């Protein structure tokens, strides 16, 4: 039934724990190999991983011995929850050794030969992989998912490409989860707003244009994008407000309908982690809200609301999705599902 062995690099951190938790109930993938830094190597996973999720640690993971991050030993497919400080070198070594690395790290995201993938949005970017192998001399591959705030943004924009996206201003209200544990100190964020997240605005602006771009991600989308990124005291769920100019000037109803109808390869292939629908468009005037809507589609849906005319551009709206599921572990797992379904793994 569970036909494919997979591994997790960086399995003991909080994002790694999300991988372990979601994979434990995955219909295709069996997480048989959990790797982490030398500090954890050789210990039982239950001892090495300071578990921080509400869902209990999967029984199958608890007794597993943590492996070193050494290429060649583990399964062909490995998910990477590694910290960016080490991900570049390790992921490259794994790809060189023949592994397919499905990574959540930022290191290779902007590499023109590496797909920065949201399966609903740019499944066709996987077509770059043969060239990746050829030019990099890898027998494996690296595929990445975007930054957690980019996912909700690029996904909500994707259905609007048909109308000609020319200009976008986005402002975020991001949950504290995002930089792993311990992350944001409570002294900084309790009852507060921090109107700055290092490097986040640049990531949102650049990653989005690559994802919406063409030729396997080598040609950026031509839209102009300006991002304001802010941290708010919310646990899970990044909320964004978006004002967008569209060349064809559709009305708000047409934009909402385009979002509602939007589907990508995951929905067509009915992949296990694919939310149905891809985008939930809410009618209530005060939604989406992270506390009420973050778990839609098992945490994989992008939830949109308040699609309405914009006095400056064409339309404006609110979008929200789960920053650790749709924005990290769930995103990578969906990437792997797509590659399996497309026969690329």
Which residues are tagged catalytic? 148, 238
Q: Which stretch binds a copy of itself (CB under 8 A): 15-23, 111-119, 186-194, 252-260?
A: 186-194
Judged by CB under 8 A, the residue of 177, 281, 325, 330 near a copy of itself is 177
Closest CA to 300 of 339, 256, 332: 332
CA distance linking residue 334 with residue 79, whole number of Å: 11
Q: Using the rule CB under 8 A, is 73 a contact of a copy of itself?
A: no
Q: Using the rule CB under 8 A, is 46 a contact of a copy of itself?
A: no
**DSSP states along 230-250:** -B-S-SS-EEEEEEEEETT--
Q: Which stretch binds a copy of itself (CB under 8 A): 101-109, 141-149, 261-269, 313-321?
A: 313-321
**CB of 34 vs a copy of itself, minimal distance in Å:** 21
CA distance linking residue 252 with residue 203, whole number of Å: 28
Q: Beta strands 224-228 and 141-144: pairing type?
A: unpaired
Q: Using the rule CB under 8 A, is 187 a contact of a copy of itself?
A: yes
CA distance linking residue 183 with residue 15, whole number of Å: 12
Q: Which stretch binds a copy of itself (CB under 8 A): 3-11, 28-36, 85-93, 281-289?
A: 281-289
**CB of 124 vs a copy of itself, minimal distance in Å:** 26
* 174 Cβ contact list (under 8 Å, min separation 6): 148, 149, 197, 200, 229, 230, 231, 232, 234, 238, 239, 323
Q: Using the rule CB under 8 A, is 222 a contact of a copy of itself?
A: no
Cα dihedral sign, 57-62-68-71: negative
Q: Using the rule CB under 8 A, is 345 a contact of a copy of itself?
A: no
CA distance readout (Å), 101 to 7, 52, 203, 244, 261: 10, 25, 21, 34, 32
Judged by CB under 8 A, the residue of 65, 70, 214, 226 near a copy of itself is 226
Q: Which stretch binds a copy of itself (CB under 8 A): 109-117, 146-154, 168-176, 256-264?
A: 168-176
Judged by CB under 8 A, the residue of 6, 169, 329, 332 near a copy of itself is 169
**CB of 53 vs a copy of itself, minimal distance in Å:** 8
CA distance readout (Å), 196 to 173, 201, 243, 253, 336: 10, 9, 20, 33, 32
CA distance linking residue 103 with residue 146, whole number of Å: 9
Which residues contact a copy of itself by CB under 8 A? Answer: 14, 52-54, 167-169, 171, 173, 176-177, 181-196, 205, 224-226, 228, 230, 232-235, 237, 239, 241, 243, 285-293, 295, 305-306, 310-313, 316, 318, 320
């Amino acid at each position: 039934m569970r036909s494919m062995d997979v591994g997790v690099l960086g399995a003991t951190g909080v994002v790694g724990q999300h991988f372990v938790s979601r994979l434990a109930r995955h219909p295709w993938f069996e997480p048989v190999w959990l790797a982490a830094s030398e500090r954890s190597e050789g210990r039982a996973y239950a001892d090495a991983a300071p578990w921080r999720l509400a869902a209990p640690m999967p029984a199958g993971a608890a007794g597993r011995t943590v492996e070193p991050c050494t290429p060649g030993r583990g399964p062909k497919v490995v998910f990477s929850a590694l910290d960016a400080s080490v991900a570049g070198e390790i992921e490259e070594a794994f790809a060189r050794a023949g592994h397919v690395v499905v990574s959540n790290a930022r290191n290779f995201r902007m590499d023109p030969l590496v797909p920065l993938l949201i399966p609903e949005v740019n499944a066709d970017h996987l077509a770059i992989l043969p060239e990746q192998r050829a030019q990099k001399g890898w027998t494996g591959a690296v595929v990445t998912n975007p930054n957690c705030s980019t996912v909700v943004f690029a996904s909500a924009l994707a259905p609007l490409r048909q109308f000609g996206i020319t200009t976008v201003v986005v402002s975020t209200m991001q949950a504290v989860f995002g930089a792993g544990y311990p992350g944001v100190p409570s002294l900084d964020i309790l009852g507060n707003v921090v109107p700055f997240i290092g490097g986040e605005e640049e990531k949102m602006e650049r990653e989005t244009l690559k994802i919406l771009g063409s030729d396997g991600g080598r040609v950026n989308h031509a839209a102009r994008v300006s991002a304001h990124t802010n941290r708010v005291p919310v646990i899970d769920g990044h909320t964004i407000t978006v004002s967008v100019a569209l060349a064809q000037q559709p009305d708000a109803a047409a934009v909402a309908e385009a979002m509602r109808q939007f589907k990508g390869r995951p929905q067509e292939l009915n992949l296990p982690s694919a939310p149905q629908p891809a985008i939930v468009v809410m009618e209530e005037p005060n939604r989406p809200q992270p506390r009420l809507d973050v778990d839609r589609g098992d945490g994989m849906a992008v939830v949109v609301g308040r699609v309405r005319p914009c006095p400056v551009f064409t339309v404006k709206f609110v979008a929200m999705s789960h920053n650790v599921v749709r924005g990290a572990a769930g995103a990578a797992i969906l990437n792997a599902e797509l590659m399996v379904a497309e026969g690329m793994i």
